[in-house]
Amino acid sequence: MESQGTVETVNRHKQLGLSDGQVIDMYRFMQLGRKYDERSLLLQRAGKINFHVSGIGQEAAQVAAAFALDRENDYFLPYYRDYAFVLSVGMTTRELMLSVFAKAEDPNSGGRQMPGHFGSKRLRIVTGSSPVTTQVPHAVGFALAAKMQKKKFVSFVTFGEGSSNQGDFHEACNFAGVNKLPVIIFCQNNQYAISIPAHKQLGGKVSDRALGYGFPGFRVDGNDPLEVYRVVKEARERALAGEGPTLIEAMMYRLSPHSTSDNDLAYRTKEEVDENWKKDGIAAFRSYLTGLGLWSDEQESDLVAEYNLELKEAITYAENAPFPKPEDTLLHVYDESGLKGGA
């Protein structure tokens, strides 16, 4: 019986319908998100870019959620730490670097918004706004469109636990619950809303709030990508079956400061951060793959070299790309079709 239990644990991804190749791809995207994030922090410290908001410690859950969705049809409304997520659904490191360097070719906003304001019509990533939580009612709107048009897609929206205290969150949940809309509401609880710890901002679990709006809420270990994958996949199946929304609270830890303007050790201890590094989802997933014989130190070295080269090329391209022109300030701001006699 013990040997059966060991095999059952080791082969968790196959029980979920994931192939060996898929879990290796998941790990690769986790590492790509981490390497991009680390490189952006260095660029800011070197004075190459002005600002960076980090998502280190949240990559495992982001990639797992992306793999549980339909990356060819679903609509995505990420929040500003979702680098690993947007990379997993098709954005490139070059596109992200164009954004942090604020260049005209930036596909997110043409270099006009701060980094983390993701948007891509090609990938169905819906443009985000600066006020936190506004993406949640927008996601519910896309889900309403899916239901009205009888289309088989879901909308997936992410946010931090601090955002769950905003009115937008509650109004969106209520509307989604009343209308049984195909939306997955995904809270990345990283324990801190800027400098405020969770116990000072939440009077209970975020996931429990779903009960008041008539749909299921689940709390999962955000450092366990296979568990996140399972719960998001089941939520998507529920949504497509007409059973309505799901609220998922993925528990994790923000291993880096809130942003490059933040001194995180002013409100938490180095010992607390170090203890949470031991729970890092990327390191744990690498151990899982290594234990199965699917990953090796040699593959890891090759991957690091590959990503270092990719990031170097993306940075070089972004640095040399032109900035937006002053005369283009109002480009894409107004619909000029009516002025030109269009419909």
DSSP states of 207-276:
GGGGGGGTS-EEEEETT-HHHHHHHHHHHHHHHHTT---EEEEEE----S-SSTT--GGGTS-HHHHHHH
Beta bridge partners of 317: none
CB-CB contact of 179 with 146 (8 Å): no
Distances (CA, A) of 138 to 7, 129, 171, 251, 287: 43, 10, 11, 24, 38
Query: Is 39 part of the annotated catalytic residue set?
Result: no
Of 257, 252, 278, which Cα lies nearest the Cα of 268? 257
- Residues 80, 254, 286, 307: which is the catalytic one? 254
Query: Is 254 part of the annotated catalytic residue set?
Result: yes
* Residue the block writes with tokens 């990953």: 295
- Residues 13, 28, 230, 258: which is the catalytic one? 258
* Residue the block writes with tokens 């500003």: 80
What is the C-alpha to C-alpha distance for residues 292 and 36, in angstroms, rounded to an integer? 27
Count the residues in the chain.
343
Query: Is 117 part of the annotated catalytic residue set?
Result: no
What residues act catalytically? 254, 258, 267
